[in-house]
Amino acid sequence: MKRHGVDGDLDPAHPALCFHREVLTFLKWAAIRRDFLEALQASPRLHFLEPRKLWRHSQEALGKWVLSQVARDTRSGTEEPAASPSFLPTRATLSGGTYDEQLIRDISLKCEDSGSAEVVAEVKALLARFNLSQRCEDAAAAVLRELSSTSPSMYCVPSLRIIDAAEERSRTASQRRVQGSVAEISAQWPKHARHSCPPVSLPLLAYKKLEMCYTHFSETAEAKRYPRLDHDSRFLLRAAAVALRYEGCLATGSLQLCADTRLKQHLHAAGYHVMDLCASPINAYMGSPKAGSHSTLGEDGCEDEGSGKEASALEAENTPNHFCSAFPDTDCYFGSLGSALQFDVEAAYNSLEVNPEKKPLLLTLDVPYDEDICERLFSRLVRDMQCAEGKMAMQQGKPSPPPYIADYVLVLPLWWDVPMQRRKRLFGVAGGAPPSSEEEEQKLLDAVVKERSAILHCGYIVPYEWPQHLAKAAGKSWVCFDGVFLGDSYKYFCTATNKWLQGVTAAEVIGLSQPRADADGGHWLETQLAAFYGGQ
């Protein structure tokens, strides 16, 4: 198995090296997570609201912390993605140091008396003592040392086990939550170099989705570059690295959820090229076009066609598609274009590879949980909207078409109060009849948004400005839909369990249509959202 480049050095993008590096990274990160949990539990001044859930809460908070650091990566991006591992933040990737404000907030929210100065001071002191940034620096250096001192013949290799849908007894507790068959991936070590690396699991349909994408985007180039590896070996190494990154290292729920894929299919069928800007290879939209409506999904995620059969969104994921993601080093082989914070809308629109039919782009931003990522992504969106307006203004009065067309759909938890200049529509009023008038509906909406957004004023408060900036940038010319979904009226699809989820959180869906002079006056997205959600 050739793992060296033309100059004799180890090829940093070799599938075997990348997987072994990911396993080493996971082991180092798992140790950091355990130490962090112990530090939280040992603090005499921090009393947690749900101590039995502290492991999950701390793991989620650390995953969000990693995403915040990745979003601040200051490298030029000129290197081959796989040669620049991006999970453990180091001084080489963060010239300005780590961003810890979100982590302070997340930990404080899990404490009793979360907003008190004493609790916040103790969380800050604990993080200072723990020195997470230095631990990551040391861990990254240790991974590199071990890689450089390990012969390629001593690398661990992935092993795949398929657990049939009907096989329940051999499943772990987490695997029992998965609907359908499961793909379990584990790391096998040489006999005299054993380490404890627990397996990770994906729904088998998600694993097949990864293979579809790898075959489409990378098979030809990788077969030429690594001829000694057959397709199955190359793919398993790449897929195992992705699974370990998201299900093992990151382990945060926000990238296991998909916003309503039926809307994306509907907009796809309407003529858009639909792309997710905040996704992973596992949950990025790869669906086939299909016209639909918000009312066609039953209470259990079943299509209301009389069959009663639960429909997995992964079953329709059969069209390889590009997307943006946080980790191009593992994701580039499956269609990732890199971070949304560096995404060039005009270049993507005009790219023969990304948008060969030059369709209008429909760019989605599904950001369920990560407040800091919201701030950065939507601040970038404001700049992109202003850029689009500037280019349209330069072409005003000219017969040529716009340089690009890009509309947006945003899906947000309702704790954000985004003051769009459009009346919000209310879906899913629980416990009684719907409001009898627009005034009554607006009064109810104001109360709900005020109640939900109160979470932003709890715990350690981090100021966010993007809701006001986005609303100002959108004005009346961009925003074409603003819907608030309560109770079970909005469903996410969870790729980790292969199930539809209802009641995850109250959600807001915002449609932004690029102002333009074309056949429909730039109202195509508004028309399609009205068709999907029902006109009003």
What pLDDT is recorded for position 438?
80
On whether both 122 and 142 belong to a single domain, the answer is: yes
What pLDDT is recorded for position 310?
58
Statement: residue 1 has pLDDT above 50:
no
Q: Is residue 334 part of a domain?
A: yes
Q: Is residue 124 part of a domain?
A: yes
Task: Give the end of a domain, one of 84, 114, 149.
Answer: 149
Work out the average pLDDT over 488-508: 87
Work out the average pLDDT over 311-324: 92
Tally of structural domains, the chain: 3
Helix (H, G, I), strand (E, B) or coil at 375: helix
Distance CA 184, CA 255 (A): 19
Statement: residue 523 has pLDDT above 90:
no
pLDDT digits (tens, 9 = 90+) for 304-313: 444 444 578 8
pLDDT, the chain, mean: 89
Q: How confident is the model at residue 301 (pLDDT cuts 50, 70, 90)?
A: very low
Work out the average pLDDT over 487-502: 88
On the 0-12 / 13-18 / 19+ scale of CB atoms within 10 A, 506 is buried
What pLDDT is recorded for position 125?
97
Statement: residue 531 has pLDDT above 80:
yes
Using alpha carbons only, what angle is made at residue 418 by residues 416 and 424, rounded to the nearest 5 degrees? Answer: 110
Statement: residue 8 has pLDDT above 70:
no
How do beta strands 200-203 and 257-258 pair?
Answer: unpaired
Contacts of 512 (CB under 8 A, 6+ apart): 385, 407, 408, 409, 410, 474, 478, 479, 480, 525
Q: Is residue 2 part of a domain?
A: no
Better pLDDT: 81 or 349? 349
DSSP classification of residue 188: E
Cα separation values, 66 from 29, 97, 102, 168, Å: 11, 13, 11, 34
Better pLDDT: 522 or 393? 393
Q: Is residue 304 part of a domain?
A: no
What pLDDT is recorded for position 274?
98
On whether both 490 and 361 belong to a single domain, the answer is: yes
φ and ψ of 351, to 5 deg: -80, 125
Q: Is residue 25 part of a domain?
A: yes
Work out the average pLDDT over 470-479: 96
Q: Tell which residue, 77, 71, 154, has the closest CA to residue 367.
A: 71
On whether both 433 and 318 belong to a single domain, the answer is: yes
On whether both 130 and 159 belong to a single domain, the answer is: no
pLDDT > 90: what percent of the chain? Answer: 68
Statement: residue 474 has pLDDT above 90:
yes
3-state secondary structure 238-261: HHHHHHHHHHHHHCCHHHCEECCH
How do beta strands 361-366 and 273-276 pair?
Answer: parallel
For residue 164, what are the domain limits? 155-249
On whether both 186 and 212 belong to a single domain, the answer is: yes
On whether both 268 and 323 belong to a single domain, the answer is: yes
DSSP string, 121-132: HHHHHHHHHHTH
On whether both 142 and 226 belong to a single domain, the answer is: no
Statement: residue 430 has pLDDT above 60:
no
The model's pTM: 0.93
DSSP classification of residue 317: B
Q: Is residue 28 part of a domain?
A: yes
Statement: residue 299 has pLDDT above 50:
no
Work out the average pLDDT over 63-71: 93
Q: Is residue 1 part of a domain?
A: no
Better pLDDT: 218 or 303? 218
On whether both 375 and 356 belong to a single domain, the answer is: yes
Better pLDDT: 255 or 352? 352
Statement: residue 120 has pLDDT above 90:
yes
Task: Give the end of a domain, one of 120, 149, 178.
Answer: 149
Q: Is residue 255 part of a domain?
A: no
Least-confidence region, from 78-92, 163-177, 342-356, 449-463: 78-92
Task: Give the end of a domain, one of 149, 166, 185.
Answer: 149
Statement: residue 434 has pLDDT above 80:
no
What pLDDT is recorded for position 492?
87
On whether both 373 and 414 belong to a single domain, the answer is: yes
On whether both 383 and 439 belong to a single domain, the answer is: yes
What pLDDT is recorded for position 306?
40
On whether both 165 and 290 belong to a single domain, the answer is: no
On whether both 117 and 172 belong to a single domain, the answer is: no
Distance CA 488, CA 428 (A): 7
Statement: residue 2 has pLDDT above 60:
no
pLDDT digits (tens, 9 = 90+) for 46-58: 999 999 999 999 9
